[in-house]
Chain A
Amino acid sequence: METSLAMRIVICCRDPHFGGALASAAESSVIRVAGLVDSLDRLGRIVDTGEADAVVSVDPEAFPPDRVIELVSQIPVLVIGRGDDVSAMISSVEAGALGYADFEAPLEDLVEAITSVLKGVAVIPPLMLGSLLRHVVERQRLQRRARERLNVLSARERQVFELIARGFDKQAVADQLFISPATARTHVQNTFRKLNLHSSAEVVALAAECGLEVGSMSHRDAE
Chain B
Amino acid sequence: MNDPRPRRVGEVWTRNEGDQTAVFDPSSGRLTRLNPSALAIWELCDGETDQNEIVDALVELTGRIRTDVSAEVETTLLNLEQLGLLK
Contact = CB atoms under 8 A, between A and B. Distances in A.
Main secondary structure of the interface of B (DSSP, over half): helix
B22 interface: no
Main secondary structure of the interface of A (DSSP, over half): helix
Contact of B44 (A126, A127, A134): A134
B17 to A, nearest CB: 11
Interface in A165-217: none
B87 to A, nearest CB: 19
Contacts of B36: 126-127, 129-130
A137 B53 contact: yes
Interface string B32-49: 000111011101100001
- Size category of the A interface is 10 to 19
A126 B57 contact: no
Given A126-B36, A127-B16, A133 B61 contact: yes
B51 to A, nearest CB: 11
A122 B60 CA distance: 11
Contacts of B37: 129
B43 A126 contact: no
